Amino acid sequence: MSETRTEISSLGEFGLIDHLTRNFEIQNASTILSVGDDAAVIDHFGKQTVITTDLLIEGIHFDLMYTPLKHLGYKSVIVNLSDVYAMNAIPTHITMSIGISNRFSVEALDEFYEGVYAACSKYNVDLVGGDTSASQKGFIISVTGVGEVAPDKFVKRSTAKKGDLVCVSGDLGGAFLGLTLLEREKKIYLENPQIQPDLENEDYIVGRLLKPEARKDIIEFFEKNDIVPTAMMDVSDGISSEILHICKQSNLGCRLYEEKLPIAELTRQAAFKFGLDPTVCALNGGEDYELIFTLKQEDYDKITLNEEIAVIGYMSELEEGCKLLTKGGNTFDITAQGWNAFRG
């Protein structure tokens, strides 16, 4: 960020909006009308439209003490696009609404929007509107994403079938360990501001928290290989919570295998350093923004080539419950211990 500090009041609300959106170029033919009117107009030319919205609140979803604004702008878009991909759809448009306190300067918001635009450009999404307001305390962000999908190719949570394979993309638990590390360093710093944060060799887990990506590649892989998952959702709260949503909504049980859970070596090492069980971090951590999905068994051969996809179990009868088979041969009930903003 530059050294100058421009007060938002010097631009006014409309001046600020013009300032923040002045250089943005439209990338999608479906964007008929963008920023500047009462609403945007989108024409999806015969495709179906998916729409999803997310709220991010300072102190609940992010801490500005260790979150650079550019990363926050990027992540705010990513968490939303992840929900669009989780419907097997391609995101095309977002709106971005912000509530800002007078702590923020125009330069600070420029930095946030640099991240927003970086994500839009990487994922070919147009920012077509939003809303801007003052907030008495804390930074509030609301993102709405719109995407398109071929008629009836969208994938719900409720349509898994007995015997289907349970799969997950990427690896799990890293973001939670990044958060654990940054919270620890924050506490040390607050107790003794002379001590510099010790983040050496922790780029991977910190990156998983602060700069997640959405799994566009997995949706493109499905399209290319003629795969339509039977059910899918994204992993924001932790896979234990997410698989229970799929089971409940599909009226089925499941059996997952601890040894099959994809956990990066760097995540495993970080867990041991904190005296935590990597499996528990992978199951309950949250903010992985990976995709969990179920597939017909006959699609197994098609996915073995993709190293970014792990088969972690299968769907069973409702009566069999939702179980985790441990490396030691024990069976546990999977419980929803994932992230919950309302837990006291």
Ligand X SMILES: Nc1ncnc2c1ncn2[C@@H]1O[C@H](COP(=O)(O)OP(=O)(O)OP(=O)(O)O)[C@@H](O)[C@H]1O
Three-state DSSP class for 130? Answer: strand
Whichever of 21 and 52 has its CB closer to Mg ion, that residue is 52
Residue 204 marked in a binding site: no
The listed partner (ligand TPS, ligand X, Mg ion, none) that binds 61, CB under 5 to 8 Å by sort, is: ligand TPS
Whichever of 34 and 180 has its CB closer to ligand TPS, that residue is 180
148 binds Mg ion (CB under 5 A): no
Binding site for ligand TPS (CB under 6 A): 54, 61-63, 179, 236-237, 286-287, 339, 341
Q: 88's torsion region: left (phi>0), alpha (psi -120 to 50) or beta?
A: left
User: Cβ 59 to ligand TPS, closest distance in Å?
Assistant: 6
Whichever of 58 and 234 has its CB closer to Mg ion, that residue is 234
Residue 256, beta-bridge partner list: 313, 324
The listed partner (ligand X, Mg ion, ligand TPS, none) that binds 75, CB under 5 to 8 Å by sort, is: none
CB 273 within 8 A of CB 182: no
CB 90 within 8 A of CB 241: no
Whichever of 83 and 185 has its CB closer to ligand X, that residue is 83
Say how many C-beta atoms besides its own lie within 10 A of residue 203's C-beta: 11
Site string for Mg ion, 60-89 (x = CB under 5 A): -----------------------x------
Residue 316 marked in a binding site: no
Cα(80)–Cα(188) distance, integer angstroms: 32
CB 80 within 8 A of CB 94: yes
Residue 267 marked in a binding site: no
Residue 288 marked in a binding site: no
Whichever of 34 and 230 has its CB closer to ligand X, that residue is 230
* Tokens at 322, concatenated: 């939702």
Three-state DSSP class for 260? Answer: helix
234 binds Mg ion (CB under 5 A): yes
Residue 13 marked in a binding site: no
Cα(51)–Cα(145) distance, integer angstroms: 6
Cα(193)–Cα(170) distance, integer angstroms: 36
Q: Give the DSSP letter of residue 164.
A: P
213 binds Mg ion (CB under 5 A): no
Say how many C-beta atoms besides its own lie within 10 A of residue 10's C-beta: 10
Residue type, 239: I
Residue 54 marked in a binding site: yes
Residue 159 marked in a binding site: no
User: Cβ 91 to ligand X, closest distance in Å?
Assistant: 13
The listed partner (ligand X, ligand TPS, Mg ion, none) that binds 299, CB under 5 to 8 Å by sort, is: none
Whichever of 106 and 210 has its CB closer to ligand TPS, that residue is 210
Residue 10 marked in a binding site: no
CB 234 within 8 A of CB 291: yes
Cα(262)–Cα(171) distance, integer angstroms: 5
Q: Annotated binding residues for Mg(2+), as ranges?
A: 38, 52-54, 83, 131, 234, 237
Q: Annotated binding residues, as ranges?
A: 38, 52-54, 61, 83, 113, 130-131, 157, 234, 236-237, 287, 339
| Residues making contact with Mg ion (CB under 5 A) | 83, 234
Q: Annotated binding residues for substrate, as ranges?
A: 61, 287, 339
